Structures are given as structure tokens and as C-alpha cells.
Structure 1
Amino acid sequence: MQRYIKLYITLLPLMLIAASACKKPNVAVDEADEIISPTTGTRSQLTLDSIFLYAKQVYLWNDVLPGYAEFNPRQKYAGVGSDITTFRKELFDISQLKINPATGQPYELPVYFENPKYSNLQVGKNIPGSTAGVTKPNTAVLASTIIANANATVAYLALASFPSLNNSKAALDQVFSEFAAANPKVMVIDLRSNGGGYLETAEYVADLIVPASLNGKVMYSEVFNPSMQNGSAKILKHQPYLDANGKTTIYSGRMATMADVDYTIAGNTYKFNKKGNLQTIQAVYFIVSGNTASASEMLISSLKPYFEVKLIGEKTYGKPVGFFGINIDQYSVYLSSFLIQNANGWSDYFTGMPPDVAVKGTDNPVLGDPAESCLSAALQLINRTTKQSINLTGTTAKMITVKNDLSQPVAKESIMFENRLRLRKQ
């Protein structure tokens, strides 16, 4: 008969466990834990256990997960297929348990066959500071232009993704310095192919847009589940805490773990901190599509309480959740871990943000061209709103043609990745 222990699976040593029957390394028993799992099993069985047990404590909607014995991952997924197929099937089933009352369907209703809308599992280790799991190409700025005449000045910016800030800061600073010299009152930000990336980079863009008068105002908050907020997600002590550069940190005289992180709302509320010299923006118009997701939607949401915000194009993807990577054996698991809320507490765009002006753009637009259908619609809307005449000729633009099929669904590699989790104060 199998022995059971109150606790969890120690994950990093799994790399050393043989594929045949094995035994978990000894760990201290925490009597506060109520989760039980077998202490022996194959490498595959232990990984199945680990995926469920992490979800039980870390998953945003962990309130609907049954106990380990009821879920019984080893029996439930015996003979499903290859290891990776089996693990992804388990993650999918977990992701379908929480129902959105507004739609009567799971929050993670798949966009395509048995792939959760948000959570995902990848082969390879998650390393903070790497580009794993972040939208490609690894560039931020695709195109920028100033559209101007005597009555109105419009700054246009197309952003491909939000790669790490180290890889994007110089290009963003240069573009916004050029914008500041033109004193535009309106910005058009083209996010139609932007599936997200690092929140830190999207936040930096927001800080470049806003005036200094918004310094200290709430931009957005990351809201974890109650177990995470109150520090009872003990399983995270088996995930080492690494800083944004992938380095370990000393905490209370020992190596810090992810269980030492401050997951409270107060500890994960980000506020505006003005960057750059642009001070004149009063309204922001976003060009969007079904590929606009995650950190892109966070940028839109965070500006809504403070600016006139309009959307042009097609309904966005709908991804108000984010992740941090969890290493399980040779896999990285990205469980939906926190909800993004703006200063008004709004986060209800799970089915996407509808456009104010619906426009079906082309698959390969010339970005920054005022005659391009989506930008043209944005300029017409600005014209009606501001009652000013926009000159659609004589622009000073840096334009490129993007070879990107915008009709395709958002790639699963496109995630809202948080690499700035902070340790609790000692």
C-alpha cells in the first residue's frame, strides 16, 4: 500500500530522478498543509502530482479545484499518451473548471483544441530575465510618425511586442523624445499585432505617455488568489527566488524562495512614475485586433481612468491575467496566477475589449500610412472628436511594411510575464 504524506512534491531534485520507480526526497512535514500525495512513483507520476499540487495553491481560480484524492491525477491520466501530451491534458482539464458567470463558459475556454486560453506548459526551464515565453520578434517599436498641420498634431506609434525593458528602452526613449518635440495632444498606438510580453516594458510605455501630474496615481494592480495573498502557498518554498537577472537572493540568512514573495494587493500595486519629456497627451486611440492581448490590454486598461481612450479595429483577445514561471522537472508551467485590475478595479475583459469603431484591417498593413484603413479610421474619429482638421498628407514618418498575418490567433508563447515579484519586508 502506498504511503501518504501531508505536503507536496519537491521539484528541483526531479531532474535527478530516474524514469523508473523512484522515491521523493525527504522533506519536512508542515502540519498546516492539507494536500496529500504519494511519496513514491515514476517520474511521470510525480510530475502529474506536481502540476496539480501547484495549481491547488497557485492557480488564480484554485477555489474550484477538488482535493488530490478526488482529482487522482495518476489514475486519471494513465495511458493518455506521451509525457508532454499527458501533462498538457492535465493542465487543460484544470483550466476548464472555473466558469465565468457572465458567459456560462470556462474563463480559459480554449481558442483552439484543448489549449487553455491562458495557462500553458512548455519544455525547458523558466529563467527570469530570459525571453522564454515572451512574444517575438524581440523588438518593441515597429513604426513611428508625426501627423501634423496647423490645427492638430497626432503622434503614431506601432508596437510589435513588449520584450524585456533592457532590449526596448533605448528605442522607446528615442521615439518619445521625438514626440515630445512635436507637442502632440493625441496619440494613436497601434497594437494590432502585439500579443504582450513583459509588464515592466508596458508599464514603461505608460510612464512615457502620461504627464507628470499623474505621478503616484495607481496604474494597475496584480491580484493573486487568497492563499497567495495570505502566505499559505507553502509549496512555493521549493521554487528558488531569482531576481530579474536570474540571480539568487539571500533572505533571512538563507536563499530566498518564491514563498518569501509579497503577494498582497498593496505589494503588487504599480503607480505612475513619469518618464521622458512628453507632457501634452490628452487622448489615446488604440488600433487593436484579436491579436492584441495581455500586456497590450493592460496598457489600454491602465490609461482608461485618466484619458479619453478609444479603440479602433477588432475586438481584442481578452487576457486580464498574468503569470510567473514554475519549474517542474524539465518543464516550465505558466498557471494563470494573478488578475490585472486598473485604478477603477476593472478587469472584466475576459472575452476581449470591443472596438469603438469596427474596422477590418489588412493582413499586411503599411504602418504609419494615414491612408491605411485602421489609421485612417482613427484619424477620422479624432477629427470628429476634436473638431479639428487632420492633414493626411505631408507626414514625417518612419514607416515599414509588416509581413505578419494578423488573422491568426494569438500565439501561446505570448504571455503577460511578471519578472519583478518582490520579497516580503523582513
Structure 2
Amino acid sequence: MGILLATLTVACKKAEVGLDAPVSPLTGTRTQFTLDSIYLYAKQVYLWSNSLPAYKTFDPRAKYTAYASADDAFNTEVFDISQIAINPSTTKPYELPVNAGVAKYSYLTGYNGSSGGGQAAVVAPSLDAILKDTIIDENIAYVALGSFPKLSTCKKMLDAAFANLGTTNPTRLVIDLRYNGGGYVETAEYIANLIAPGSLTGKVMFTEQYNTLLSAGDASILKNQTYYDASGNTVIYKGRTATMADVDYTETGNTHMFAKTTGFETVKDIYFITSGSTASASELLISVMKPYFNVRLVGGTTYGKPVGFFSVKVDVYSVYLSGFLIRNAAGWSDYFEGMPPDVEVAQQEGAALGDPTEACLKATLGLINGSWPGLVQQQAADKTVQTNTVFKSSPVNVTVQASGMIENRFKLKSN
């Protein structure tokens, strides 16, 4: 309850917090306090917070207190918050439900040891960072990435795999992300640096863009959230324990550059094998390569998640609200509906990863060699290959662990 009470104490100071008056009452039940806190945090840290109404208009206590289960009330509140912001290009919510009552991104964990909403609702055993790596011929390397765990747990595995793949100095790289639901941004960034040549060092890889209140350093409600470094330790800042309000949320402070240390130097073309389970940090890897490489997608349309988050602790719950937008070096971030493939290939159950006769890899190799049936050559200013090919095989029914896009390297303000 300490977090809740502290939250409400801060929230009720209109001038400090910057919320519309009247804010939440100082009295109420534990459930009412939790409902208030979820809304008040969203009003400051949610990526589309400007779309949210004032507290009095939203009125979480009136809307949700009558629910038989407090957990249902909190989940429903998070879902309702997620449906308010509308994507003008589609006229639908940015977080259009993937299932009834399940937001595409935002969710809450902590009730009965479970989670709900967004990709976290997809539950299966976690996959290794490297599922398969093989050299197809001296010009083509193949690697299947199953997930992006914390970098400290997979760095040696990644280094070994990419060192092996680089022995022939390949010019084409096939990255199989069909089962990759994402994970840690730091790991996707590390892999991008393994692939990129040294000439890209110092050039923009991507930026993380937060809402205007966070960017201005005015989300004072975050004083109630303890800051932890990438190793999970608290930090002393200006003579006190740092909080998430001390983080630098500016775009300048969250611009990531290429920094080559090891890996490939010869790759020119990158082919990604994708599916509807390709999400979040795996889509980030695709996005950051587009401005600098010839990139093609084979398989299915990706999940569509150019946003990441950090957790907010409310009582016994962790609330994950879409917190930042990922933009590549070209400023591109508009893949909320997913990235469509250049060659569509239906997924096969139990596909043999790395097998040149497997449908997706076969199509990829055909695209590389210019022999894929139905390939259409179209001259354009900076695009030479388009496709109208649809290869149909048996439908897929694969469940993967979808981890999201997790940032664990927040920087504190320098002054």
C-alpha cells in the first residue's frame, strides 16, 4: 500500500503533477486507490497520454469498483485506457485488440501470478537466442533467432554463432525471426552491431521517443518508482536513491548509434523470414537495418509493435503501458499494422530451420537467386524488386513466447 498512498499524495498536488483538477480523493478502499493509481500513471507515462480524458471524466471509481473481482476491474481499466488513442491512418485504436478484451500492447501482471493483455498473453516455453546457424554457401549465411534474452545471458552464444557465420565473409544474410516475439532492446541492438560494417559506427541506429510530459522531465508521479540500473541495482543520485523521475526521457538522450566492435563486415543484403509471431524487438532489428541495407521480408506479416515499455509498480501489480515509440534512422515507425512480406509464404508446422528445401527458406533462396516464380522486376528510384507471389503450403499453428520490447538501460539526467 505504500506505493499507492505515496502516489495519491503526489497526485493530489495539481501544480506539481500537472493533472487536471479535481484529481483522485484521498480516502477510499484499496481497490479504489489502485484504480486511481493506474489511471494517474497512464495520464503521465502512457505514450498517447494526451488522448486520455481528465480524471473526473474518466472516473475510474465509478466505472470499475462494482466489478465482482478487483483483478477484472484493473484489467478492464488498463484495456479501456489502451483503446482511447486512435491511429489517424487507420481510424482504429493503436492498440486494436488481438482478442476480445486483450489490448495489443499494454497489460497488467501480478494477479494470481498471471498476466493479461498484449503479447504477454501468448504463453509458451522461452526460446533460445540462437535456434540454428549454418552457412548455406560462401555468399549466404543463415541464422534463426528464437528470442532476445538479456544480453548478459546470450552474448557468448551470439558471438560464437556470428564468428562461425563470418568465416566465409558472406554478402547475404538470412535471419529467421518467424518464432521471435522480441525481448530486450539491448540484445537486438547488439545483434545489429554484429551485422553492420564498421563504416556505420557513429550513425543513428534508432531513437526512443516518449510523450511530451516525460520528455520535458515533468512526470513527477514517477518519484514514487525506484530506479534500477541494467544490473537491477538501486543508484544514489544527488545524495538520495534515484527514482524513475530522474531519468532522461529526451529524444537526444535516447538516440542509439551504431558501435561496431566485432562481427561481419561484408553483408550487403539481409533477408528476414517473418510471421505474425515476429514482434517488438525482432521488428526493431528489421527496422534499423532498412535505411542501410537492401532488406527483404519472406513469410508472413509481422505482429506490428513499434512501441516499448517499462513497468510501473502499483500495489502488488506491475502495469505495462506503451511507453515509447521506436523510430529508425529514417524516422520510420509506422508499422502498427505489421510489416508485410515481399514474398508471402504460409508457415509450416515443425519447419526444419536452416533446411534449403523448407518452404520459407526455399522462397528466400529463390528471391536471392532471382528465380522465384512470379517475381516481378520493377525499376524505381531506390527499389528494384517487388513481388506479387503468394506461395501456399500447410497452415501453421505455432505458439511462441512473445516477450515484448523491454528497455533496461535508462540513463539518469546529467544535471
- TM-score relative to the length of structure 1: 0.85
> Mapping of 1:13-412 within 5 angstroms?
29=13, 31-35=15-19, 36-123=23-110, 136-137=125-126, 139-148=128-137, 153-384=139-370, 407=397
**Partners of 1:138 and 1:161 within 8 A in 2:** yes
Residues 176 and 377 from structure 1, CA distance in 2 versus in 1: closer, same or farther, beyond 3 angstroms? same
**Partners of 2:306 and 2:334 within 8 A in 1:** yes
Deviation string for 1:136-163 (max 9, x for gaps)? 5152000010011xxx521100000001
**Partners of 1:215 and 1:271 within 8 A in 2:** yes
Query: Displacement of 1:410 after TM fit?
Result: 6.7
RMSD (Å), alpha carbons: 2.5
Query: Displacement of 1:79 after TM fit?
Result: 1.7
In structure 2, what is the Cα distance between the partners aligned to 1:103 and 1:331? Answer: 32
Query: Displacement of 1:304 after TM fit?
Result: 0.2
In structure 2, what is the Cα distance between the partners aligned to 1:164 and 1:259? Answer: 24
In structure 2, what is the Cα distance between the partners aligned to 1:385 and 1:371? Answer: 14
The answer as to 2:8 corresponding to 1:11 is no
Query: Displacement of 1:122 after TM fit?
Result: 0.6
In structure 2, what is the Cα distance between the partners aligned to 1:216 and 1:135? Answer: 38
Query: Displacement of 1:42 after TM fit?
Result: 1.0
Query: Displacement of 1:91 after TM fit?
Result: 0.5
Deviation string for 1:310-362 (max 9, x for gaps)? 00000000000000111111111110000000000000000000000010120
Kindly provide the amino acid, as one letter, of the partner of residue 319 in structure 1. Answer: K
**Partners of 1:135 and 1:197 within 8 A in 2:** no
**Partners of 1:286 and 1:312 within 8 A in 2:** yes
**Partners of 1:290 and 1:409 within 8 A in 2:** no
**Partners of 2:4 and 2:33 within 8 A in 1:** no
**Partners of 1:96 and 1:107 within 8 A in 2:** yes
In structure 1, what is the Cα distance between the partners aligned to 2:160 and 2:242? Answer: 37
- What residue in structure 2 maps to residue 416 of structure 1? 405
**Partners of 1:12 and 1:327 within 8 A in 2:** no
Query: Displacement of 1:245 after TM fit?
Result: 1.7
**Partners of 2:125 and 2:400 within 8 A in 1:** no
Query: Displacement of 1:239 after TM fit?
Result: 0.1
Residues 123 and 77 from structure 1, CA distance in 2 versus in 1: closer, same or farther, beyond 3 angstroms? same
Identity of aligned residues (%): 53
Kindly provide the amino acid, as one letter, of the partner of residue 33 in structure 1. Answer: V
Q: Which runs of 5+ in 1 are unaligned?
A: 1-8, 15-22, 126-131, 387-404
| Number of positions where the alignment pairs a residue of Structure 1 with one of Structure 2 | 383
Query: Displacement of 1:214 after TM fit?
Result: 0.3
In structure 1, what is the Cα distance between the partners aligned to 2:221 and 2:194? Answer: 38
Residues 180 and 292 from structure 1, CA distance in 2 versus in 1: closer, same or farther, beyond 3 angstroms? same
Mean CA deviation greater in 28-37 or 292-301: 28-37
Query: Displacement of 1:171 after TM fit?
Result: 0.5
In structure 1, what is the Cα distance between the partners aligned to 2:277 and 2:169? Answer: 30
Kindly provide the amino acid, as one letter, of the partner of residue 420 in structure 1. Answer: R
In structure 2, what is the Cα distance between the partners aligned to 1:139 and 1:80? Answer: 40
Kindly provide the amino acid, as one letter, of the partner of residue 114 in structure 1. Answer: G
SS at match of 2:134: strand
Query: Displacement of 1:420 after TM fit?
Result: 0.5
**Partners of 1:193 and 1:406 within 8 A in 2:** no
In structure 1, what is the Cα distance between the partners aligned to 2:301 and 2:101? Answer: 22
Task: List structure 1 segments (4+ residues) > 2 angstroms apart after TM superposition.
Answer: 23-35, 132-136, 405-411
SS at match of 1:37: coil
In structure 1, what is the Cα distance between the partners aligned to 2:164 and 2:4? Answer: 48
Query: Displacement of 1:108 after TM fit?
Result: 0.2
Q: Which runs of 5+ in 2 are unaligned?
A: 114-119, 373-394
Query: Displacement of 1:33 after TM fit?
Result: 2.7
SS at match of 2:326: strand
Residues 409 and 234 from structure 1, CA distance in 2 versus in 1: closer, same or farther, beyond 3 angstroms? farther
Residues 38 and 28 from structure 1, CA distance in 2 versus in 1: closer, same or farther, beyond 3 angstroms? closer
- What residue in structure 2 maps to residue 4 of structure 1? none
Query: Displacement of 1:306 after TM fit?
Result: 0.2
- TM-score relative to the length of structure 2: 0.87
**Partners of 1:202 and 1:295 within 8 A in 2:** yes
